[in-house]
Amino acid sequence: MLSSQIKSNEIVFGSCNKDLLEEIIFYGIGLGADFVEIFIENTDNSSVLAEEDFITSVSPSFGRGAGIRIFKGKKDGFVSTNDLTKDGLMRSVSQAIEMLDITDNKREVFNGLNKHRDYSLPKKEWINEVPSIHEISEKLLVSTKSLKKNNKIITRKGSYSRNLQEVIIASSDGTYVSDIRLHQTVGLNVIASDAQYRSNGSRRFGSSGMPNEFRLWDHEKAANDVFESSMVMLYADYVDAGQMPVVLANKFGGVIFHEACGHLLETTQIERGTTPFENKLNEKIAHESVTAIDEGISEGSFGSLSVDDEGMEPEKSVLIKDGILKKFISDRAGELRTGHKRTGSGRRQNYSFAAASRMRNTYIAKGDHSKEDLINSISDGLYCKSMGGGSVGATGQFNFAVEEGYIIKNGKLTNPVKGATLIGEAKEVMPKISMCGNDLELAPGFCGSISGSVNVTVGQPHIKVDSITVGGR
């Protein structure tokens, strides 16, 4: 008796909530909504920080909440709440309806929810399969210890975070979906110092849906990589500013495409009128050597998902094919407002954000050249081995920090340089990506935008940009 009462009056994870969800959606439709969507989540996260040879922070967190979105025409009202009771959810629907000032008598038809698509079934045991805090702590401490390779390393850090998110998504088009998402990241960073010289080295690794991944992580290799990078950069000179050809390394070098072009292919940018590519479908926007993809299906990749935050399975979207713009990244609101079909890209940080069109695993496809071909083709330029963060402005201008760079002289890598920033505009840079290597690799990252911070993968093979502004001193 008690069990059924709970089921009818409050969302219970792991149980059938169909009746309650239908009741709430009926309520919204009855009040005049064109469309009602309910997104409910339950999270269980933890993070661990190791500094030098000690664990200095263990931070578990858990939470639950719902985001309710009501569409009327092309406008939408979004209400988020921590109250998952029937009354709480009904109140949120009423609030959204009231905000939208719905007064007409037109009523949409809601035929009830479809059969439950439960993507969470094979994932129920993940919470028991992920490493314990004890196991994580031990491995992080071994990792930070292995960073202690000489006395120039003055700061050593290892960090781990695990996010487990259980979601229920239901909407008035019949969508009724459950899923469990697991993301794990681990990072190492150091500061090296010698007299007036200082450098940083850092690397981050991440996966989705692979509870065992942290155990398989090769911390020795990662530590060697971070150490070597910091040593090379310790005595590096500042780069001289100017216009020059650059070769961008694979993996995280793909952040250039993510920032410079990927964001401009999200339908939110069309809605705002801020993308130069709005009317360029089937037109050439990049060099013919460029084919670019956004997908959510690569197994284990940080941006992969079984189902997006609007209940649609992700598709593999070829955005640019041989330089020709083929597709935009679209969510429900994007389809409604711009006409571009949904691509399974409706994503949000958590229940307190409405979903928006966001990238998943986004990369430039591999070409035919070796890395050496690209470098050999440049007489004076810059090799960007490791990229830092970047951003794109409201009119498409972008910038990226180069963490580890080398001068290219007569087709050879020479001395390391620091302090470089790559600056440009997508429209101008995309046609200048003239060579793509054959060594495509992906790297995890976090992307912050309109619907919060989401897990993504960036990637590319080595690529050559014929000319770009390099900021320095």
Partner 1 sequence: MNSKEITIQISEAADSLNLKKWDYGASFSNDYSVQVDKGEAKQLKASQKQILTIRVWNESNLVGITTTSDISESGIKKALNQANIASDFGNKNEIIEFSPLAKDPIEVKNSKKRNPVGIKKLLTLLRQAEVKLLESHESIKSVPYNGLSESFYERVYANSDGAFRSYTKSQAALYLYARAEEKNKKPRSSGSVKLGYGVEDIDIESCIKDASNKTISHLNYSSIQTDKYLICFSPESFLTIINAFSSMFNARSILDGVSLSNKDSIGEKLSTEALNIYDDGLHEKNISSSPFDGEGTPTKRLCLINKGRLENFIHSESTARIFKTIPTGHAGLGSKVSVSPDWIVVEKSEENTDLKTSLDHSTYEGEFVYIEELNAIHAGVRASQGSFSLPFDGWLYKNGKKISIESATVAGDIKYLLKNIVNIESNQEVTTSGISPHIWVDELSITGDA
- Cβ closest to partner 1, residue 166 vs residue 295: 166
- Cβ closest to partner 1, residue 316 vs residue 432: 432
Q: Which 216-245 residues touch partner 1, going by CB under 8 A?
A: 238, 241-243
- Cβ closest to partner 1, residue 291 vs residue 451: 451
161 touches partner 1 by CB under 8 A: no
Sole binder of partner 1 in the list 3, 273, 282, 410 (CB under 8 A): 273
- For 229, counting Cβ atoms within 10 Å of its Cβ (0-12 exposed, 13-18 middle, 19+ buried), the class is buried
Amino acid sitting at position 309 = D
Q: From CA 201, how far away is CA 192, in angstroms rounded?
A: 8
> Are the C-beta atoms of 186 and 130 separated by less than 8 Å?
no
10 touches partner 1 by CB under 8 A: no
Give the angle 226-228-230 at the CA atoms, nearest 5°: 70
- Cβ closest to partner 1, residue 60 vs residue 339: 60
Window of 210-218, 283-291, 412-420, 429-437 that interacts with partner 1 by CB under 8 A: 412-420
Q: Where are the alpha helices (DSSP H) in 64-169?
A: 86-100, 126-129, 133-146
Query: CB count, 10 Å around CB of 446?
Result: 16
101 touches partner 1 by CB under 8 A: yes
> Are the C-beta atoms of 299 and 237 separated by less than 8 Å?
no
77 touches partner 1 by CB under 8 A: yes
Sole binder of partner 1 in the list 131, 334, 390, 437 (CB under 8 A): 390
Q: What share of the chain is helix, strand, coil (3-state, %, to 5)?
A: 25, 40, 35
User: Which pairs count as long-range contacts for 423-426, CB under 8 Å and 24+ apart, including other chains?
Assistant: 423/397, 423/398, 423/399, 423/468, 423/469, 423/470, 423/471, 424/260, 424/397, 424/398, 424/468, 424/469, 425/260, 425/395, 425/396, 425/397, 425/398, 426/260, 426/261, 426/264, 426/276, 426/392, 426/396, 426/398
Q: Which 328-387 residues touch partner 1, going by CB under 8 A?
A: 352, 354
Helix (H) or strand (E) holding 413: strand 412-418
Window of 195-203, 284-292, 363-371, 377-385 that interacts with partner 1 by CB under 8 A: 195-203
Q: From CA 238, how far away is CA 255, in angstroms rounded?
A: 22
Q: From CA 320, how far away is CA 80, in angstroms rounded?
A: 36
14 touches partner 1 by CB under 8 A: no
Q: Closest approach of Cβ 52 to partner 1, in Å?
A: 9
* Cα distance between the two ends of the chain: 73
133 touches partner 1 by CB under 8 A: yes
Sole binder of partner 1 in the list 13, 26, 32, 83 (CB under 8 A): 83
Sole binder of partner 1 in the list 63, 122, 300, 339 (CB under 8 A): 63
Sole binder of partner 1 in the list 245, 314, 416, 424 (CB under 8 A): 424
- Cβ closest to partner 1, residue 213 vs residue 403: 403
- Cβ closest to partner 1, residue 17 vs residue 46: 46
Window of 11-19, 54-62, 278-286, 455-463 that interacts with partner 1 by CB under 8 A: 54-62
90 touches partner 1 by CB under 8 A: no
431 touches partner 1 by CB under 8 A: no
122 touches partner 1 by CB under 8 A: no
- Cβ closest to partner 1, residue 5 vs residue 273: 273
b/e sequence 428-444, b meaning 16+ C-beta within 10 Å: ebbbbbbbbbebbbbbb
Window of 61-69, 115-123, 143-151, 167-175 that interacts with partner 1 by CB under 8 A: 61-69
- Cβ closest to partner 1, residue 176 vs residue 214: 214
- Cβ closest to partner 1, residue 55 vs residue 440: 55
